[in-house]
Amino acid sequence: MMVSIRFMNMEGIYMQIRLKNLKRSYGSLHAVNGISLSIPSNLIYGIIGKSGAGKSTLVRLISLLEKPDDGEVYFDELRVDNLAKEELIRRRRRVGMIFQNFNLFSSRNAAQNVAYPLEIIGTPKGEIKARVAELLELVGLGDRGKAPISTLSGGQKQRVAIARALACNPDILFCDEATSALDPQTTHSILALLKEIQRKMGLTIVMITHQMEVVRDVCDRVAVLDDGRVVEEGPVTDIFAKPKSDVTKEFLSHLVGTDAGSEEQMVQWSSKRGAYILRFRGVTTDQPILSQITRETGIDFNIRAGGVQKVGGEVEIGTLIVDIQGSEDEQESVVARLRELGVHVEKEERS
């Protein structure tokens, strides 16, 4: 029993990340201002925030590129924010990272890029060759090993970067805006690849992003960052069904607005936007809630737009944008009744 547990820890399959009251300032700017998070193992965890919310600093702190001013970072039970130099370098070798701009070595071809992390830990040449071929195959670039980096497309570059990040069998893969420089289709294929790799290798993936689509499509849990703090955290399906903070709601509204043309597009019946956003989740999408309320109260709804989104590829979240007829009191009672029935209601701010 002991042996098997030790084996699993060495393989790092159950690597969990914990952050305790992390702080990092640059001059008077508090980039990360007291963040505590627990990132469970073996899933895809999203960290979303607008630019300047502190995402980049946070990822530099948890990927051990920078030390916090205050607070602690744990990988499992091991505290990693205060490691000595040699230990720090050894620890970084167990962590993979991909970037918005790929950051590939232009002096090396695709295969040589993937070989780099193996070279620096002194892997024998023959072993490197076999492992590189295997990794390139995994990311779907089995025949492009000899290609100079400049001849690859953005998506192919990110695939090489993913293969490079996975070379040393990391416990954790950090993706820092990994799809932000890619077009929607390429983003889609990269996300699918990451999801497949997460399942195959059982690693913990942390996705730092400003794109709610990324969170919706691949993340299991998400933390919403604003002003260097976590304003909301939870399973992605909960966040989509019941967003609490204004920042989250704003992210979701962008998603509705920008999604036209994709599969989950909102159907617009009217060019006017409704006053209320209703979000239905799971079973509530199957029930005739609106007509039930109309029957009960005699108050009508005017549906402006609506649609269904798949979150995490499984759970469906329905969204309706409506106007509610009647006086303000009547509207309030309808909203109360909707909430009773498990619908999440937001009032649109008219500006």
Partner 1 sequence: MSAKIWLLIWNSTLQTLSMVFFSTLFSLILGLPLGVLLFSTGEEEQGGIIPMPLLNSVLSRIVNVLRSFPFIILMILLFPLSRLLIGTSIGTAATIVPLSIAAAPFVARVIETALKEVDPGVVQAARAMGSTNFQIVRKVLIPEAMPSLVSGVALTIISLIGYSAMAGAIGGGGLGDLAIRYGYQRFRGDIMLVAVIIILVLVEIVQVVGNRLSARLLARR
Q: Which residues bind partner 1 (CB under 8 A)?
A: 63-65, 89-93, 95, 97, 99, 101, 103-108, 116-117, 119-121, 148-150, 164-165, 168
In the bound complex, what is the minimum distance in angstroms from residue 107's beta carbon to partner 1?
4
Task: Give the length of the chain.
Answer: 351
User: CA angle at residue 44 from 39 to 50, to 5 degrees?
Assistant: 80
In the bound complex, what is the minimum distance in angstroms from residue 40's beta carbon to partner 1?
22
In the bound complex, what is the minimum distance in angstroms from residue 109's beta carbon to partner 1?
9
Select 147 or 308, whichever has its Cβ closest to partner 1.
Answer: 147
Q: CB of 206 within 8 A of CB of 62?
A: yes
Select 120 or 192, whichever has its Cβ closest to partner 1.
Answer: 120
Sequence letter at residue 93? R
In the bound complex, what is the minimum distance in angstroms from residue 108's beta carbon to partner 1?
7
Rounded CA-CA distance 340/297 in Å is: 14
In the bound complex, what is the minimum distance in angstroms from residue 266's beta carbon to partner 1?
37
Which distant-in-sequence residues (6+ apart) come within 8 Å of 233 by Cβ? Answer: 37, 221, 222, 223, 224
In the bound complex, what is the minimum distance in angstroms from residue 146's beta carbon to partner 1?
11
In the bound complex, what is the minimum distance in angstroms from residue 92's beta carbon to partner 1?
4
Select 117 or 155, whichever has its Cβ closest to partner 1.
Answer: 117
Q: DSSP labels for 173-222? A: EEEESTTTTS-HHHHHHHHHHHHHHHHHH--EEEEEES-HHHHHHH-SEE
Other Cβ atoms less than 10 A from the Cβ of 38: the count is 14
- What are the residue ranges of helices labelled H in 63-106? 85-92
Select 104 or 208, whichever has its Cβ closest to partner 1.
Answer: 104
**In what helix (H) or strand (E) does residue 34 lie, and over which residues does it extend?**
strand 29-39
Q: Which two tokens stand for residue 98?
A: 């991909």
Which distant-in-sequence residues (6+ apart) come within 8 Å of 241 by Cβ? Answer: 279, 280, 281, 317, 344
Select 51 or 327, whichever has its Cβ closest to partner 1.
Answer: 51
**In what helix (H) or strand (E) does residue 172 lie, and over which residues does it extend?**
strand 172-176
